[in-house]
Amino acid sequence: MTGLLGSILGFISLIMAMEVPPPPGVDPTAITISNIAITILCLIYGFTGALITYMIQKYHEMQSNDNYSSDIEKPKEGFKLFSLIYFIIYLSLNIIAISILSANSGNIIILPFESIYYIAIITIIFILFYKGNSLFNLLKDLFWYIPDANNNIKYNLQFIRNVKKIFAMIISVSLLCAPIMMLNVLAMPPQESNILDFNTLSFSGLKHGGIQFFWILSTIILLTIMEGREATKLYYLTGKISSGDRFYSIKYILGPAFLIFFIFIIGIIQSLLF
């Protein structure tokens, strides 16, 4: 999913760069095509990485049980320093990528202030839908290992997996609204700053959909980490492995990603023809 996250960032940068005049002597069509190629390349990297990880996992599952040690050390309760370090590294890489893409898009901030709306919606969903013992303890799973009761662990796992599906559906529904906006803007004259001589305003729906996709996908990545922590707690408590949907990314994430690129290509063709 991290490869797809980079692809979505590239897509947002691509649309915002379409609204900025290129430097003198630079072909705007070549810039657009190269940005599309980089965006799709990130998607291929993400898919390839997921496939390799899946094959390694299947390889270990197919090994004889005799090759594995049954003595697994139980995590110690308390703060996990390495979890915080990994989170800081992940956050830093995102900030660096956003800074580079913003510079390449004409120094436009590719995650504008409106992003606060999506963060607020995600927070409200968490607060309204969670009925477990402590939402704060659930969020602490990112940096802490806290043993919990059996029933609450099972509820947390179910809650996390359902919320991940809800977020994926929100992405799909919001992107389905983009073609409607494209049709509404089709009759408007081209913008003066347009670099491809057609109305890039029609892609504003996709731009906001991409920004929403970024924040929701980032949340899903963090939820997946929390899900793994809760599954670990359940294993040490009951000896049972609560496996989630291993094809979640294929069923719920690649679908909206394909949708956003498909609508974008159709919009390009529509704008050039009309």
* 192-249 pLDDT per residue, tens: 545 555 566 777 778 888 888 888 988 998 999 899 889 888 888 888 888 888 778 7
pTM as predicted: 0.81
Residue type, 43: L
Helices 254-273 + 28-62 axis angle, to 10: 160
Residue with tokens 């081209």: 190
What is the dihedral sign for C-alpha 36, 253, 114, 224? negative
Query: Which token pair is 147?
Result: 């043993």
Residue 123 has pLDDT above 70, yes or no: yes
Residue 245 CA from chain centroid, whole number? 17
- CA nearest 264: which of 8, 74, 2, 1? 8
What is the per-residue pLDDT for 190?
55
If one compares 234 and 56, the residue with the highest pLDDT of the two is 234
In the DSSP assignment, the letter for residue 68 is: S
Write down how long the chain is: 274
Q: Residue 157: its pLDDT value, please?
A: 92
- Indicate the DSSP class of residue 78: E
- Tell me what pLDDT residue 188 has: 65
Measured distance CA(244)–CA(206) in Å, rounded: 31
Give the mean pLDDT of the chain: 79
Partnered with residue 78 across adjacent β-strands are 145
Residue 186: its H or E element = none
Does 35 or 128 have the greater pLDDT score? Answer: 128
- Check pLDDT > 90 for residue 159: yes
Distance in angstroms (rounded) separating the CA atoms of residues 202 and 190: 10
Q: Specify the higher pLDDT residue, 154 or 46.
A: 154
Cβ count near 127 (within 10 Å): 9
Q: What is the largest CA-CA distance in the chain?
A: 70
Beta bridge partners of 79: 144
